[in-house]
Structure 1
Amino acid sequence: MAAAIGTEITRGAGRARRWLEDNGLPHSDEIPLRASGSAFDEGGEYGVEIPVVNNFRVLEATLRLLREEGLPVTRFNETLGAFLLSDAEVADMLALCRESDVGMVFALGPRPEYDRKAAFYRGGFGASQGRRVNNNDALAQSAEEALRLAELGCRGLIAYDLGVIRMLSNMRQAGTLPADLMIKSSSHCIVSNPLTAQVYAETGANSVTVIHDVGLPVLQEMRRLAPRLTIDVPTDVYGSKGGFIRFYEVAELVQICAPMMLKIGASAQSHPHDPVNENTIRQRVQRVALCLEFLKKSDVEAKYISDLSPQRCVPVEA
């Protein structure tokens, strides 16, 4: 006869949970939340990252509005692919960021949406597999883009493929790419659990953008398993990706994930490929103000990232 059900809950997958816990691995979402106690090497627990700044016009307008509102920004993300921009426009964007003492992180291409050899990934099934690079020519072209951007003074790259990250890390170790180049994984890499985050850190990523809906216990275990990784957390999401806003969690995010980036402003758009106009930029800046207001009201004593941190990705002279 089976034992009567008592007041204590017996969890499913008990044997596996015990093994995972005994070996120091994530085993449950029901864990006590705690502050990481970590910070960037040069000081500060968090920075501010603004995505979809894909040309000089948008960059210039965003910087102007942020200055008018007295708001900080650590680094911007270009997200369509730097190969769609001329050397001159990339150089102008890097120069403006350098003069403004803010960072700029450019996305590498080619990606499946541009690559004639990757038609599978543009179909319904393939799209769900992420933006994988599926041919050697694309690897070479990604490496060439990295070299071009580094030579123009860029010190931050976004990659969409784990193999590309390994390649960039090898180039950096060999001195072919600058030692202070920051390698960041896109949310399209689907970093959705602590073990995946650990793999990206071990492969050479300095910074990962986690999948948008990752909960606090998962983020806490990511921080534990990858202690030197900068965790970039979207605080608000494009309408086409769910449209949710995590401003009431910002205080917990900063405490649990530090050192981390608050990735703010996506909810100003329905889709990342939507045209960006003045109204979109104003909404992005308003989201930054709101997010930081929620953090301030929480009374969490978190410090903004130090001006000395290489994670800011401030461009250098070409």
Structure 2
Amino acid sequence: MEVEDGAELCFPQLLNTSCRKPTTSWPETMLTTIVMYFISVFTAALNLLVIIAVSHFRQLHTPTNILLLSLAVSDFLMGLLVIPGELVLKTSCWLFGDIACTLCRYTCLIIISSSVGDMVLISVDRYVAICDPLHYTNRITVRSVKLCVCLCWLGAALYCFHFITDDLTQPGRYNSCHGECVIVINHFSVAIDLVISFIAPITVVIVLYMRVFVVAVSQARAMRSHITAVTFQLSVSQKKKKSELKAARTLGVLVIVFLICYCPYYCVALAGDNLANSLFVSAVDCLFYFNSCLNPLIYALSYSWFRKAVKLIVSLQILQPGSCETNIL
């Protein structure tokens, strides 16, 4: 590969085969670096709080919270691994070799796929809780949810593996020069992936939540019409319904934010190379990664248990003996 005289090379010792360093403008590079750095740090930190809270306090070991824990793990890995890796690819050369490049891309694909799977599981959980509450405790248990989460991650790993098989057999086969990290997916695979990993799951999520919304509205009206009932049994029943409806609203916001952040990303992916070097693509990428940071903020605004848990974690009270039995709800 021939380069212009004076061009900055990723590997100066490899004059004829080295890539040139990215040539984006200094202000754009600085802006991208600062924004993605803060998203990465806050994403990892906030989701780590969710992971510690749900894992430590036994009262939070519910089916719904197990699903939130799985989502928090994928978001935490997004902030810890994926965003820094993408930042390196955008602003500098890839210096870690072809195998590391393939594994980095593979990890990114698994995390994104598992996040989409978690959203589907959360929607199913809320659908059963609101639309079939009498059978919820029998159908949705902590054990069954843990099994579904494990299958979700295993399925994501197996599904994404076929995208990197060529790169594992011939690492760097699509790189045009040293210092590049590229994985090429043919158009047919991209179309199939778009349907399997985005269109189909998002359709399921939207359909389920439309049903949940209709039932939730009818239940809210029913509770208001029976507001004068004073028996203890009815009062407890109404409190449980209100709790389920609040959870449905909160997780509904979670799903809506997910759609807002992910849809532009997949639209740009469909556009292909037509927008490859535009500032718009960088903004869409930042929005995509920012979704992982927004989820814990939604919990903080909606769940009092999360705010209490954060106070106990930050003050290190969780290190005290028996702290896992604390009444957090």
For Structure 1 versus Structure 2, the TM-score category normalised by the shorter chain is under 0.3
Q: TM-score w.r.t. structure 2 length?
A: 0.25
Q: Which has the higher helix share?
A: 2
